[in-house]
Structures are given as structure tokens and as C-alpha cells.
Amino acid sequence: MKQNAVELLRSSNLRQTGPRIAILMAMMKANAPVTQEQIAEQLGPLAPNKTTIYRTLMNLVKKNLVHKAYIEGRTWHFELAHHCGQHQCHPHFTCSQCLQTRCIPGVSAPLIKLPEGFTMHRQQIRIEGLCSVCRNKNRR
């Protein structure tokens, strides 16, 4: 996993610093969109401070290694950009019961055609409902 993080940084001509490698490894391990607080929790007592995590995430976003997946309650969730296209990120599904958000790679939606004068930078889709585990619990 560390080698993958180093390769991602190298491919974007970014220095392979400890915080960058640790943050990318935490995101790889999570395998779902995460907040800067969740990254800090996962890294534990050796985590960089929140400002360093945020600045690192913004640098990774600029280099298109990480995307801002969605915002919930004024908090950004970030994920690795490897499942996303230039104008569209894969959809995300949030269970309204367990509140878990999962990536749905391989599923796409048509790009929305905007009225004249508008310019799209990125289309993001978030679907809410019941995941299969919660749905099965409710059937019992």
C-alpha cells in the first residue's frame, strides 16, 4: 500500500513526504469517502495536525489524485480519484438507516445538459435509501 501511495505521488511530480504518504494510505484503506477528521482518527496519535491534513488534501485535489466526493453537514468527504472521470465522479449511495456511504464504481449517469451560459466543472450523484443489510434487517 505504501508503494502505491509513493507511485501516485511520483506520477504527479509531488514530493513523497510522510504526511502525504500517510494520508493516501489512510484513504486507500478506507475504500470509501472520508473526512479530514476520519483520516486523523485512522492515523492515530502520529497524525499530522488538521491544518496539515487539509492542506495536503487540497494539494492532492489540485493534482487530481483525490476528489471532493460530496459535502454533508458542511463537511467535505474526500476519496481517491481513480474511479472518476474528468467531468463525472462515480455515484455514492448513503443508507438512511446505518448512515454508511458506499462508492458505486462502474455505474454512470448521463451528463446533465445545462442551460446556455452555465459551465459544468463536475457532476456528482449521491443516492439515498436503504442498503441491502438494513433492508434485510427491516424485513425480519
Distances (CA, A) of 65 to 11, 29, 73: 10, 15, 24
**In the chain, which ranges are continuous DSSP H helix?**
2-11, 18-30, 36-43, 50-62, 132-139
Mean pLDDT of the chain: 86
Instruction: State the average pLDDT over residues 17-24.
Output: 94
Q: Where in the chain is the domain with CATH 3.30.1490?
A: 85-140
What single DSSP character describes residue 31?
-
CB 70 within 8 A of CB 92: yes
What single DSSP character describes residue 17?
-
CATH class of 85-140: alpha beta
The percent of residues in the chain predicted with pLDDT above 70, rounded, is 95
Quote the Cα angle for 51-36-93, to 5°: 155
* pLDDT(86) > 70: no
Indicate whether this model's pTM tops 0.75.
Answer: no
- Collect contacts of 111-117 with beta carbons under 8 A, ≥24 apart: 111/87
Q: Where in the chain is the domain with CATH 1.10.10.10?
A: 1-83
* pLDDT(43) > 80: yes
Place of cell 465522479: 89
**H or E stretch including 71?**
strand 66-72
The percent of residues in the chain predicted with pLDDT above 90, rounded, is 37
CATH class of 1-83: mainly alpha
| Cα(128)–Cα(140) distance, integer angstroms | 22
